[in-house]
């Protein structure tokens, strides 16, 4: 199965693309002036040769269950479920540092228990998912290698409609595929792929498996990460979307540095300007972001913004709608200062905004920590008996005990280091032979009790202490 994101044009709903063959009339034709055709062709050829070595194929494995069930007699949410089966996906990635950092899409490696990276020269490496950001659909994978070819970053803010671009990736499992097109639009939002959207739209053919691959200009510079297509069929019809390089690069750097994306926050709610609201607020154009509410002592309030203000410029950038303003603030460093051009009661004003960190991200983290401190130490973990068939299916090195098949993100066990695929050999120094034994020992534990697990992880034994506050 090729992993990609496909948006059905008639519903704009998210679905997984299937292997489809484009019918007659689907291929786009790009006419180049005869006088410049030869030069352009040579440039495209040179760019393809330059970039292909830095675009990789990513094969991912996730564990899925066709049906889950629970036994009400089991304590604290320990579920016995049918054995998991492996599901395979394939996408693309771009090497952005010689020491093995690769940027790709979150949906290419989301929930993966195994990641294999294949270079253009067919070398294969075990990939480690450094961190992911579903809100931008960006992920970072690391391989243990040096002196790798890379693609230089471009400033996507300078990208203009009509520019030639190349999409390079592994569509439908066909490695080292290059397609050619133009930038059809910039600043596409409300596509339905991610929370933060500022997509580059291109007609360079993109298909399932292209996700995470490179969108480059004719100079071979990375302008975007190919992410999704709009299609009634699941195949390319000339409407593809890429995350702009500036957004992707900022997310990647934050993921590498902190393990999460730290975003700026306006400290206010906004809405788009409609034609009727434009008249009511006496705006010269139907564009901007109307302030509808203010966070107490937030960035916007401290900057002097009021309800009903219309933000029309952020530094030197025109603000077309509330989504664009949200993206501009989100990509700004925490504590950075920016000039806002406003229209208030039909008159022009200016304000200086000092960007604050998005509070919901901090709250989510603290909420998860609070929940973990009051729950059973093993809450959020799914265990199953290790049977010979399951051991073969999950490539386990042992044939007894209980195996971790799933862990809730943010749970105490997850933050303590427990991982899917870990086989529990002991709980609090008592041997675990099956789920019944495990349940008998685990059931009496209180939220603040220690759960000392001895686990087998890929042939290595290690202790993992799990204890709430």
Indicate which residues carry an active-site annotation: 107, 137, 211
Q: Which two tokens stand for residue 466?
A: 């799990």
Of 304, 294, 292, 231, nearest in space to 266 by CA: 294
Cβ-count burial 298-321 (b if 16+ within 10 Å, e if not): bbbebbebeeebbbbbbeeeebbb
Contacts of 176 (CB under 8 A, 6+ apart): 52, 55, 120, 168, 170
Contact 436, 427 (CB under 8 A): no
CA dist 91 and 104 (Å) reads: 8
DSSP string, 116-127: EEE-TTS-EEE-
Whole-number CA gyration radius for the chain? 25
Give the integer Cα–Cα distance in Å for 182 and 196: 23
Q: How far is CA 136 from the centre of its chain?
A: 5
Please, where are the H alpha helices in 79-164? Answer: 106-109
Name residue, tokens 């009661």. Answer: 345
Structure tokens at 185: 């639009």
Question: What letter would DSSP give residue 157?
Answer: G
Do the beta carbons of residue 118 and residue 93 sit within 8 Å?
no
Q: Is there a contact between 106 and 137 (Cβ–Cβ < 8 Å)?
A: yes
Among residues 236, 159, 229, 146, the alpha carbon closest in space to that of 192 is found at: 229
* Dihedral (Cα; 238, 322, 4, 394), 10-degree rounding: 180
Strand residue runs (E) in 303-457? 310-314, 317-318, 337-344, 347-354, 356-357, 381-385, 402-407, 423-427, 430-431, 450-457
């Amino acid at each position: 199965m090729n992993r990609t994101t496909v948006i059905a044009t008639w519903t704009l709903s998210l679905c997984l693309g299937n292997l489809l063959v484009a019918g007659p009339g689907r291929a786009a034709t790009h006419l180049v002036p005869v006088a410049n055709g030869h030069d352009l062709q040579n440039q495209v050829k040179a760019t393809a040769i330059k970039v292909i070595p830095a675009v990789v194929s990513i094969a991912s494995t996730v564990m899925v269950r066709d049906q889950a069930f629970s036994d009400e007699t089991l304590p604290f949410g320990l579920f016995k479920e049918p054995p998991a089966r492996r599901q395979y996906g394939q996408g693309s990635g771009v090497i952005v540092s010689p020491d093995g950092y690769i940027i790709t899409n979150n949906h290419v490696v989301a929930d993966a228990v195994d990641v294999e990276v294949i270079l253009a020269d067919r070398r294969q490496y075990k990939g480690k998912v450094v961190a992911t950001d579903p809100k931008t659909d960006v992920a970072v994978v690391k391989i243990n290698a040096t002196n790798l070819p890379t693609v230089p970053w471009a400033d996507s803010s300078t990208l203009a409609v009509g520019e030639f671009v190349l999409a390079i990736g592994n569509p439908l499992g066909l490695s080292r595929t290059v397609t050619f097109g133009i930038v059809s639009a910039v600043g596409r939002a409300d596509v339905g792929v991610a929370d933060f959207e500022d997509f580059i739209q291109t007609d360079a053919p993109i298909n399932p498996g292209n996700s995470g691959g490179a969108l480059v200009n004719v100079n071979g510079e990375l302008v975007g990460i190919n992410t999704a297509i709009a299609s009634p069929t699941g195949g390319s019809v000339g409407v593809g979307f890429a995350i702009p390089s500036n957004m992707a690069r900022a997310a990647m750097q934050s993921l590498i540095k902190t393990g999460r994306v730290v975003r700026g926050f306006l400290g206010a709610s906004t809405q788009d300007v409609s034609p009727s609201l434009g008249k009511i607020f006496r705006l010269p154009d139907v564009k901007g972001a109307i302030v509808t509410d203010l966070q107490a002592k937030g960035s916007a309030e401290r900057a002097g913004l009021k309800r009903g203000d219309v933000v029309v410029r952020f530094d030197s950038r025109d603000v077309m709608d509330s989504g664009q303003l949200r993206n501009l603030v989100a990509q700004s460093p925490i504590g950075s200062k920016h000039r806002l051009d406003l229209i208030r009661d039909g008159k022009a004003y200016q304000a200086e905004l000092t960007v604050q960190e998005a509070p919901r991200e901090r709250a989510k983290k603290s909420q998860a920590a609070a929940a973990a401190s009051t729950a059973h130490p093993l809450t959020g973990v799914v265990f199953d008996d290790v049977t010979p068939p399951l051991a073969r299916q999950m490539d386990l090195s042992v044939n007894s005990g209980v195996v971790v098949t799933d862990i809730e993100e943010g749970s105490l066990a997850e933050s303590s280091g427990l991982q899917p695929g870990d086989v529990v050999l002991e709980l609090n120094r008592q041997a675990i032979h099956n789920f019944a034994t495990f349940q008998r020992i685990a059931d009496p534990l209180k939220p603040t009790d220690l759960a000392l697990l001895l686990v087998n992880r890929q042939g290595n034994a290690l202790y993992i202490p799990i204890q709430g506050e």
